[in-house]
Amino acid sequence: MDMRVQPGESVVLRGIDSTDDHGIVTYEWKQILGDPSVEIKKLEKDQAEISNLQVGTYVFQLTVTDTAQQQDFSNITIIVLNSEQTEEHCLTPKKVGWCRGSFPRWFYDPTLQQCQEFIFGGCKPNKNNYLREEECKLACRNVKGSVSGRQMP
């Protein structure tokens, strides 16, 4: 799974969706890629807050251990957007697409400084196209500016 955020934003990683037939005893988050100055603060048994994120790519690994001492791993990538990526992900106008599908999606509207729902046709999305409102908010929180380019169908 990939997450996109703005520099300086904090992210909470959650392992609550992890399941095991024996029951999970421990959750451990660790950084395996990216600037080592990032801070990891354990919140609850399955949660860690990641802060001091700077532009770049980070990979964090969740290790879960069950009552039988068996372990499993899962990675999550956090991409901290630079100004060019922010323009692509947050300042590009929504693009409905040419196809006739009907998929609920979210885009960031920089004039309103909020994420809004729209119906995506299913073909040729741009990067300002999010499956969940939470993803949109993480990527574009507090981004200001005007929509670049012209709106495409």
What pLDDT digit, counting tens, does each position of 33-55 carry? 999 999 999 998 889 999 999 99
Q: What is the DSSP string of 39-96?
A: EEEE-STTEEEEE---SEEEEEEEEEEETT--EEEEEEEEEE--HHHHIIIIISPP--
Closest alpha carbon to 79 in 55, 61, 44, 102: 55
HSE, CB side, 13 Å, CA atoms: give it for residue 21.
Answer: 0
- Residue with the bigger pLDDT between 59 and 17: it is 59
- Residue with the bigger pLDDT between 21 and 27: it is 27
Domain ranges of the chain: 2-80, 83-140
CATH class of 83-140: few secondary structures
Question: Residue 70: its pLDDT value, please?
Answer: 86
CATH topology of domain 2-80: Immunoglobulin-like (2.60.40)
- Over residues 133-144, the pLDDT tens digits come to 999 999 999 898
State the first-to-last Cα distance of the chain, in angstroms, to the nearest integer. Answer: 28
- What CA–CA distance (Å, rounded) separates 58 from 98? 34
